Structure 1
């Protein structure tokens, strides 16, 4: 009995010691911003002792009495560090909400200079993920926005490969300036000049075609003043925020995608055949008082004899050409993508390579893009994070004429059905053997679109590099400081060649080669202070500043007696790049060398935003931004653009009870935005000289062409928005 009692006493003593030790503990639940449990989250002391949360996010960590520093972490979320004081025998409760990492967002929404929970958003924002962007093959990523977000209208300019799309967010908000939205990639605005190459060939280039849709993680479309107000004048037409893919925390992920598709015209023009055209033309001729057979363009004139007109009419009836069929086709689209995501404890990386060839329905037209991207993230400690991104791309657009310029446009207008595209002339030797064949373009080659299709070679090449960097410093758990910079460099090379057969006067072959360069520099910094950071109430204040500089220049040559396009003649192309007169004179004659005027614009801004969350169902936001642009007169160079917004989640009210509606939110906003998309020379007094040799008292005559305007001011728009969201 004594031995048994002793053993029982030992067990009771050991058990009481375990209970006493367990009472020195920290326990609680780890969740995300929306209160969802985070299973397998790590809770660790400064000494390295730690536990994982269970399936419900619950944890219990035994600690020594006294002050303890705990680190809470979970993949895809920012680490949270808390210091607690645990008394002897105390089981302290500490519930933690982890904020999602700005790079690996899930249910959060990217907004200007930050992120917000969808519940907190007071502006009109639509989110489009990568699957929706790449689900359908489109000429470029912005064309995939059509039908993906309410209020966003996308119109393709011409259907040609590499052509620009017109994107309008909630219509056009300007009567005198540009209407294109601002595009921001990983926090840095990019260049988007649709007119860098002019509109030759009845088509503007697409500055966004160089972006690989498969590198995009998601897109946020900011529509109203509450969402775009933080961008001031730059957000007057809406903002499209593009977030690219990043690496993974651990391990390696490899992805490969290949696709092939076909495209055809969505509808064919209902063109008349030869019999229908001649019947209507004959009827019009007779209604106008004419007699006999009608005269036919390219064959006869109104003054031709009746016999000549009859012969031409009968000859025309022998030919029936479907020009639209000749200039259109079933286009093929191919795409290859390889992605590699990797990472370690403190770093992660994404690498992507893509090849894309996109043919259009117009014969001879195609756009080929090769691109590569690298995104690198480094977190040396829990207070510093470095994000680096870089991409390079090369886009080659094999151009053909369209619209008013010819090609498919001529096939639906000036190319008449009784015109044959060409006949083949064959040459035989004395023995009857075929020596050669040659296309003879009927009815005057200068009015035959097939001749221009065969005798004109035209290619545009764009080389683009975009580099961005961001440093996020968290000196205090409630303070984040972000410093960023970006560089966007674009070189557009335009190279065309016309065969001597098209020169009706001298029989010369002509070439045109030019290069346009655009450089965009961005630097900025902002700080966010969370003055109140409780579960149901928060107050965040953002202040920041940024500056942008844009430069452009270029040069070009008009060539005569060229032997072909410069892209097919490396020696000629190299000499044009190097401006080596002796070399390019050896292969062609330069009739004109010209320089595109150097242009530069500056932009400087300061901004602030306040977000207040009351009881996690009343949300308020106010923004203010001051923009300064060198494009405006010196008396009105700066503009002030404020906005205010509020949101109320009605479904979170205790009195709200509904079996059919689980989420109900009302939001409203007001804001003032400006527009700086005007010509950079609008404020200057411009003059021109008399170029026809006239003088006054022996001096050159100079006359004004545009008066100076130091009072040129911002165009401003005030917007009021209200909506009701339910689900």
Structure 2
């Protein structure tokens, strides 16, 4: 056998062996895939009647896998988790059950017991107290598990994808920025379309107090709320549920209930910490320097210019006394985008204490959040504290307080306009050098040099938000309840922005600075009577009547300064020219009377009647 034949046989042997090995590895990987999947099957029936339960939910505990029982009560699904596996089975009107699966080769039978008093339970939603079986309104609930499953700094971000018909989207993507929230669409072209927010009975002003424009970015007042303090969120969608809140509830109502202590429970200490990173997946694919030069040459010629005098031509080609800027292939490519984006750090730390005895209950929490955006100069920090106390004076009289205080710190930078950080990296021609020939920063473009912007940007805000509520509940009769509550939503917001002479915004005035301070106070006093009683075996009546008094005060002062001695001076007191303005206190008030009735028959038929009358100081005297 010749050496050539021997070499040819070796090659054939290697190729066949390579194919066999690949096929074996593929089969082995497929076997591993089958082995890694555990199939769970079973049947769900009524404990008493033994009839199948249709539509019961089966979920893997601490997992995403699950199924819904079919018309025969059967379910089947696969999960990558290994045995044993804990399943959670629940269905409306039945007691939730948790079972452990140790064997996957046999079907499991789950018997759910009916909650006999489920439909007769009295539930409290807003002003109303009625039987669960008598509720006819479109109301969606978001529990603490769903809230904690989403990592976000803002309360509204936690609602994304949680409620059907509720649209929540970010307007800028920066932490602590405003969110677009729409419940079943918009109701007005010009007026506010945001829903009404109520936290522990306190009406919250969710409008931004921002007084200084930041290139399309708007701050979010609801980012002041620590979402870890929330027990549940109820979203009132339809006209029946929102009518009792008047015109303010036309865009829907979001009721937020915070956590409280439990009676006869030992003190519980909870500490939770989250640390994560976010990174941009992909940035824009910009033209290279040579490509940009070709485009500019083509644009010049298409506008009627001559090919000979095109701007990007060899430097030794002198036309009308002007040398060329260099041929397109001689141009460099200068990346600014990656200078402005980063891997961002996010961390949240929560500490809470809760407990109580037969007469006293308490919940105390503290939190710190620090979140960076992937775009530099966009940072958000929050410190918050909450205390909820409840005390039973006797078996018929209860008093309590809910108080939260938060301080937010933001670093902002204009993003979407001429001086914006995003446009600096996105719209500056890629063929423009970042540094001049002498090593200094190149400032020949209308957008700020990225290094100059990063080193000189100075736009910071500080907010203090106090939400307090004091209430008393008196059980006058076994079926008659009176509640009086007094609340305050006090929000202070201070902004400071300084553009020194190195930045385009401050170049013409040798520095420009603005300071704005906004205060918004909303006082609310509310009195409410609730009466519930069964009539016979199948009839149930729920009545309520109440009154609300609101007083709002808004005030904003603004101070501007220009012509600073040098970039070392940042305080407006150092400016040669200063101007100021003050809106003074702008008061407004609202007086409301409301009531309603609910009648239900046999937990099958329900009738709701609501009324409300509002008198507002925002209208003329003859139309209030």
Do both share a fold (TM > 0.5)? yes
**Contact map agreement 2:501 2:507 (CA 8 A) in 1:** no
Distance in 1 between residues matched to 2:288 and 2:517, nearest whole Å: 43
Query: What's the counterpart of residue 513 of structure 2?
Result: 511
Query: What's the counterpart of residue 77 of structure 1?
Result: none
| Residue 378 (structure 1) aligned to one of 373, 391, 404 | 391
Moved more, 356-365 or 397-406: 397-406
Query: What's the counterpart of residue 348 of structure 1?
Result: 361
Query: What's the counterpart of residue 482 of structure 1?
Result: 483
Query: What's the counterpart of residue 557 of structure 1?
Result: 559
Q: Using the TM superposition, give the Cα deviation of residue 286 of structure 1 relative to its aligned residue in structure 2, in angstroms.
A: 2.3
**Contact map agreement 2:403 2:466 (CA 8 A) in 1:** yes
Distance in 1 between residues matched to 2:243 and 2:158, nearest whole Å: 25
| Residue 618 (structure 1) aligned to one of 591, 605, 621 | 605
Distance in 1 between residues matched to 2:149 and 2:556, nearest whole Å: 38
Q: 1:162–1:310: structure 2 CA closer, same or farther, 3 Å change rule?
A: same
Q: 1:414–1:450: structure 2 CA closer, same or farther, 3 Å change rule?
A: farther
Q: Using the TM superposition, give the Cα deviation of residue 268 of structure 1 relative to its aligned residue in structure 2, in angstroms.
A: 2.8
Moved more, 606-615 or 259-268: 259-268
Distance in 2 between residues matched to 1:35 and 1:475, nearest whole Å: 33
* RMSD (Å), alpha carbons: 3.1
Distance in 1 between residues matched to 2:535 and 2:283, nearest whole Å: 61
Q: Using the TM superposition, give the Cα deviation of residue 276 of structure 1 relative to its aligned residue in structure 2, in angstroms.
A: 2.3
**Contact map agreement 1:556 1:593 (CA 8 A) in 2:** yes
1:462-473 pair list within 5 angstroms: 462-473=463-474
Moved more, 159-168 or 115-124: 115-124
1:51-200 pair list within 5 angstroms: 110-194=124-208, 196-200=210-214
Q: 1:477–1:593: structure 2 CA closer, same or farther, 3 Å change rule?
A: same
Aligned length: 508
Runs of 4+ residues over 6 Å off in structure 1? 33-37, 95-100, 503-507, 562-566
**Contact map agreement 1:410 1:449 (CA 8 A) in 2:** no
| Residue 390 (structure 1) aligned to one of 361, 378, 403 | 403
Query: What's the counterpart of residue 541 of structure 2?
Result: 539
Distance in 2 between residues matched to 1:601 and 1:271, nearest whole Å: 52
Q: Using the TM superposition, give the Cα deviation of residue 375 of structure 1 relative to its aligned residue in structure 2, in angstroms.
A: 0.3
**Contact map agreement 1:510 1:562 (CA 8 A) in 2:** no
Q: Using the TM superposition, give the Cα deviation of residue 196 of structure 1 relative to its aligned residue in structure 2, in angstroms.
A: 3.6
Moved more, 137-146 or 163-172: 137-146
Distance in 2 between residues matched to 1:129 and 1:122, nearest whole Å: 20
| Residue 214 (structure 1) aligned to one of 212, 228, 252 | 228
Query: What's the counterpart of residue 36 of structure 2?
Result: none
**Contact map agreement 2:424 2:447 (CA 8 A) in 1:** no
Moved more, 459-468 or 324-333: 324-333
* Residue 240 (1) aligns with residue 274 (2): no
Q: Using the TM superposition, give the Cα deviation of residue 118 of structure 1 relative to its aligned residue in structure 2, in angstroms.
A: 4.5
Query: What's the counterpart of residue 433 of structure 1?
Result: none
Q: Using the TM superposition, give the Cα deviation of residue 171 of structure 1 relative to its aligned residue in structure 2, in angstroms.
A: 0.3
Q: Using the TM superposition, give the Cα deviation of residue 176 of structure 1 relative to its aligned residue in structure 2, in angstroms.
A: 3.2
Q: Deviations over 1:135-192 (max 9, x none)?
A: 1222411012111100000110101122100100000011331101000000111111
Query: What's the counterpart of residue 289 of structure 1?
Result: 304
Structure 2 counterpart SS, 1:214: helix
**Contact map agreement 1:273 1:322 (CA 8 A) in 2:** no
Query: What's the counterpart of residue 270 of structure 1?
Result: 285
Distance in 2 between residues matched to 1:172 and 1:217, nearest whole Å: 28
Distance in 1 between residues matched to 2:340 and 2:310, nearest whole Å: 28
Q: Deviations over 1:570-611 (max 9, x none)?
A: xx6xxxxxxxxxxx75x5545112213421211111111101
1:636-715 pair list within 5 angstroms: 636-637=623-624
Query: What's the counterpart of residue 366 of structure 1?
Result: 379
Q: Using the TM superposition, give the Cα deviation of residue 488 of structure 1 relative to its aligned residue in structure 2, in angstroms.
A: 0.9
Could you tell me which runs of 5 or more consecutive residues in structure 1 were left unpaired when the two chains were aligned. 1-32, 38-55, 58-94, 101-107, 427-438, 573-583, 638-727
Could you tell me the TM-score, scaled by structure 1's length?
0.65
Structure 1 counterpart SS, 2:587: strand
Q: Deviations over 1:15-39 (max 9, x none)?
A: xxxxxxxxxxxxxxxxxx97979xx
Distance in 1 between residues matched to 2:279 and 2:343, nearest whole Å: 5
Q: 1:122–1:520: structure 2 CA closer, same or farther, 3 Å change rule?
A: same
Q: 1:113–1:248: structure 2 CA closer, same or farther, 3 Å change rule?
A: same
Query: What's the counterpart of residue 496 of structure 2?
Result: 495
Distance in 2 between residues matched to 1:181 and 1:153, nearest whole Å: 11
Q: Deviations over 1:93-151 (max 9, x none)?
A: xx999987xxxxxxx76522144554332111111112212212224110121111000
Structure 1 counterpart SS, 2:325: helix
Could you tell me which runs of 5 or more consecutive residues in structure 2 were left unpaired when the two chains were aligned. 1-91, 97-112
Q: 1:321–1:505: structure 2 CA closer, same or farther, 3 Å change rule?
A: closer
Structure 1 counterpart SS, 2:453: helix
Moved more, 553-562 or 155-164: 553-562
Q: Deviations over 1:435-475 (max 9, x none)?
A: xxxx4234258643542332221101111111012211101
Task: Name which one, 1 or 2, has greater alpha-carbon Rg.
Answer: 1
